[in-house]
Structure 1
Amino acid sequence: MPVTADVPAVALDGVSFAYRGGPRVLEDVSLEVERGAFLGIAGPNGGGKTTLLRLVLGLERPTAGQVRLFGGAPQSRGAPRVGYVSQRAQLASATPVTVREVVEAGRLSVRGPFGPLRAEDRAVVARTIERVGLADRAGAPLRTLSGGMQQRAFIARALAAEPALLALDEPTTGVDAESQESLAALLAELRTELGVTILYVSHEFGAVEHVVSRLLLVRGRIVFDGAPADLPAVWHDPSHAH
Structure 2
Amino acid sequence: MASIEGKVALVTGGGQGIGRGIALRLARDGADLALVDVNSENVEKVAAEVREIGRRALPLVADVADRAAVFDAVDATSTGLGGLDIMVNNAGIAQVAPIDDITPDDLSKLWSINVDGVLWGIQAAAAKFRELGHGGKIINASSIAGHDGFAMLGAYSATKFAVRALTQAAAKEYAAEQITVNAYCPGVVGTDMWVTIDQRFADLTGAAVGSTYAKFVDGIALGRAETADDVASFVSYLASADANYMTGQSVMIDGGLVYR
TM-score by length of 2: 0.31
TM-score by length of 1: 0.32
Which structure's relative contact order is higher, taking Cα pairs within 8 Å and 6+ residues apart? 1
